[in-house]
Amino acid sequence: MSYQWQAAPRAPVETIDGAAPMRRCGLAALRRLAPELILLAVAGAAAVRTTDPDLWGHIRFGQEMLARRSLLSHDPYSYSALGHAWRDHEWLTEVVMALGYEHFGVIGIKLWKLTCSAAVLLLLALGVAETAAPARLQLALLAIVAVAMAPFMQFRPQLFSFVIFAAVLAVFARHNYRGHAPLWVVIPLMALWANLHGGFLIGIVTLWVYAGVGLVENAIWNRTARFDLLLLAVCGTLATVVTPYGRDTWVPVVNALKNPLTRSIIDDWKPPVTLITGVGRPNYGFIFFCLYAFGLIAALALTLGLTRVRGDLPLVAIALVMAGGAWAAVRNLPLAAIACAAPVARHAAILQQRKQREWDPPTEGVVSSATRCALAFLVLALAVGRESLFSKLLPTDSPYPSGPVEFMRRHGLHGNVLCHFGWGEYLIWHLAPSSKVFIDGRYDTVYPLSVIEDYVKFHYAKPGADRVLYSYPHDFVLIPVDTLPYGLMEKSPGWKLVYRDRDCALFAREGSRAATLPGIPVISSAGSARYFP
């Protein structure tokens, strides 16, 4: 049997090829079916509780803004870009994080992360519910997206990008499948997004794809031209300049995209293939999570090819654009998973309906009482324990140089520190303002391209790395052991090892007070601290 391309009616009931109508199964039905499964999906998305390299900086910058009651418009933390203009497009998130930490400590930022995780899943459920897919299918997709997003739900401003992206797609899903929705909500959402995270650029792309494809689709099949969506895209784009920085909010975002060095420094910006293969053994843990995200993309392609039904081409186009973004950069994988959920739900439901020729989605009995109890117990287990939601312990994502920091404090040492990129904001938290860093995770929001280029030369021990050591006023060099820079430092004249442990090494200039301390170099068998802060 062959099926022709056809427009699915944007109404509460859809009928395809004479099959029984597909009833909408909204959030109320999902609550009746399996609230524990929804709760489990939220807990799963928030289950990964480790620090991000920039966590220390985000909280410290927010604390500084709260103390000053003003933004930090110029950099006070580095010596390579001291006084340089700082366009902090994540300022509002940092204030939120600082407030949570100051009032509730580590538990406060854990609750903030859980709230964002819950918001993403619930907004996603709202959007998927508009497809009229069976509840079982909706729940399965929520679970798949939760797993795909889990490693990316970190303590970072990007959480708000996931929340607002899911909110925008929920509005568009309602508009697409019902024919009406409060589209005006998208405009203040875009303004808010631009003050929370640089991912607002994804929102602009989403607006224009939805408006452009919707306009073309309407012109071809309905023979009319509606420009309301284009007006929405224009207003939503203009809303992103409603920030303390105005048009300059765009500068660091555009710089990050244009900077050819971004993918060599920041793992988030590397293609998934690069991290999957890695150096040496493949990263099997990362492959596991990638399978879910790319599985959704494959499911979208498969169901589209088999159904050949239109009616949600704007949402499909958004999903395909996000899928392309996921192939280009790891940071886009969760966005692709979110965008694919609704189109996959709709087209998979159409396939299932055609196969059965009638569909009466169940209202009860998705899980048994015993299963409900087991799931509830698992959620409870995630909430208690040594490193759980209500624990004051927050494990670090990797070793941080607590040993050298304590060494410097004990001996009253301070100065300019050329450090590993991912350690910059850890040092700002522990050593500022008496010590300053060469570079940190603020990257394009503060540092000129020349500084970034010099750091890359040093980090990879490229030609010119030795020049970097002598052309800036470094007082210390703090780097991981067993790395290319460590070998470079051992051979560099004018530098002396003063501290080393299992994870890191601290070098000081010969003749400095640090280099003349008795008993140096201090060789410690201890490892770095494994808990924030």
Confidence of residue 202 (pLDDT cuts 50, 70, 90): very high
- Token pair for residue 472? 């800036």
Q: Please say if the pLDDT value at position 3 is more than 80.
A: no
Long-range CB pairs of 208-217 (<8 Å, 24+ gap) are: 208/233, 208/237, 209/314, 209/317, 209/318, 209/321, 210/172, 210/314, 210/315, 210/317, 210/318, 213/313, 213/314, 213/317, 214/313, 214/314, 217/310, 217/313, 217/314
* Span 509-517, average pLDDT: 93
- Token pair for residue 146? 């939760």
pLDDT at position 381 is: 59
pLDDT at position 305 is: 87
Q: In Å, what is the CA distance from 493 to each residue of 113, 222, 357, 496?
A: 47, 75, 79, 8
Q: What is the pLDDT of residues 25-61, one digit of tens each?
A: 555 555 555 565 666 666 666 667 788 899 999 999 9
Q: Please say if the pLDDT value at position 260 is more than 90.
A: no
The DSSP letter of residue 9 is P
Domain extents in the chain = 40-383, 402-523
Long-range CB pairs of 32-36 (<8 Å, 24+ gap) are: 32/363, 32/364, 33/135, 33/136, 33/139, 33/362, 33/363, 33/364, 33/366, 34/139, 34/366, 34/367, 34/372, 36/367, 36/372, 36/375, 36/376, 36/379
* Span 148-163, average pLDDT: 90
Question: Angle at the Cα of 409 (from 404 to 411), degrees rounded to 5?
Answer: 95
8 Å CB contact between 107 and 390: yes
* Ramachandran angles phi, psi of 418, nearest 5°: -85, 110
| Beta strands 522-523; 495-500: pairing state | parallel
* Span 497-518, average pLDDT: 93
* Span 200-211, average pLDDT: 95
SS in 3 state form for 380-428? Answer: HHHHCCCCCCCCCCCECCCCCCHHHHHHHHHCCCCCEEEECHHHHHHHH
Euclidean distance between CA atoms 525 and 533, whole angstroms:
21
Q: Please say if the pLDDT value at position 13 is more than 50.
A: no
* Ramachandran angles phi, psi of 7, nearest 5°: -85, 125
* Ramachandran angles phi, psi of 504, nearest 5°: -150, 165
- CB neighbour burial string for 66-102, b if at least 16 within 10 angstroms, e if fewer: eeeeebbeebebbbbbeeeebbbbbbbbbbbbbbbbe
Place of tokens 């280099």: 515
Question: What rounded mean pLDDT belongs to the chain?
Answer: 83
Q: DSSP per residue over 29-57, as a string? A: HHHHH-HHHHHHHHHHHT------TTHHH
The H or E element that residue 476 is part of is strand 476-480
Q: What is the pLDDT of residues 410-439, one digit of tens each?
A: 999 999 999 999 999 999 999 999 999 999
Q: In Å, what is the CA distance from 140 to each residue of 7, 41, 125, 135, 344?
A: 26, 10, 11, 9, 11
* Span 505-514, average pLDDT: 94
Q: Identify the residue with better confidence: 253 or 498.
A: 498
Edge-to-edge order in the sheet of strand 504-509: 436-437, 416-419, 476-480, 504-509, 495-500, 522-523
Q: Which amino acid is at 140?
A: A
Q: What is the pLDDT of residues 365-416, one digit of tens each?
A: 555 566 566 666 666 656 555 566 777 888 888 889 999 999 999 999 999 9
